[in-house]
Amino acid sequence: MVMNDSSNNSQSASSPESGIWPGDDPVHTLLELARSGDRDAMNRLLERYRPAVRRLIRFRLDRGIARRIDASDVVQDVLLEASQRLQEFLEGSSMPFDLWLRQLARDRMIDLHRRHRQAQRRTVDREQPIAAAFPDRSSIQLAAVLQDPELTPAAANIRRELERRFQEALERLDEDDREIIVMRHFEQLGNQETAFALGLSPAAAGMRHLRALRRLKTILSSAPKSGTSD
């Protein structure tokens, strides 16, 4: 049985600082136990990934949909589907477990976007602006945001300005560039994992990432700073 999700749960602190996905060491053991039919191991496995799934969904869920649907409900749906399909994964998937779970979450959100777009007759094709995902600060590091938790008012203003410019620049990228920046710098996926998820060779994924960074840098360099006169 998958436990109910709580958006105020402090479990997100258990994720490693290097990325949103848990480390591999206990996961392999839990997968092997789950393969042998251990239901407790399956529940422990899914609970280990709950914070990562929550952060991914909050990051990618369209703002309009997020006003009507609690992200915690989406998390619960994804984990329930994972529990129902885990044996299928164990028996035949060559995909790493975190990428498989990530794909379930992505498919769920695509379905949500499609259904709500049809119901509301409004376009929600583009994912939620990056601002909603910034509490963990991992993506903003790419824009050299100050990390000191006790900022002076002036430094806080600088950080807000950098965040604003970074958000706007990221939104101006095309979908492929934005996706690979998100995968590498928010999800903290390695090049091999990113290549696997995108169906690219590692060399092609590396080149796409490099091009996306160059385009992002160009946009950031050309973006006018607030307070500048026309």
What is the spatial distance between Cα 149 and Cα 144, in angstroms, rounded to a whole number?
15
Indicate whether 114 and 168 sit together in one domain. Answer: no
Taking the C-alpha atoms of residue 106 and residue 98, their distance in angstroms, rounded to an integer, is 12
Q: What is the span of the domain harbouring residue 70?
A: 10-120
- How far apart CA 77 and CA 75 sit, in angstroms, is 5
Which of 76, 105, 120 is the C-terminal boundary of a domain? 120
Q: What is the DSSP letter of 131?
A: G
Show the DSSP H helices in 121-201 as ranges.
153-172, 175-185, 191-198
> Which has more pLDDT, 154 or 137?
154
Domain count for the chain, please give it. Answer: 2
Same domain, 115 and 18: yes
Share of the chain above pLDDT 90, in %: 25
- pTM as predicted: 0.62
**pLDDT of 230 above 60:** no
Q: Find the CATH number of the domain harbouring 19.
A: 1.10.1740.10
Each residue's pLDDT tens digit, 18-59: 466 776 568 888 998 998 889 999 999 999 999 989 988 887
pLDDT in tens, 59-72: 777 777 777 788 88
- Cα separation, 60 vs 40, in Å, equals 30
Rounded CA gap, 101 and 106, in Å?
Answer: 9
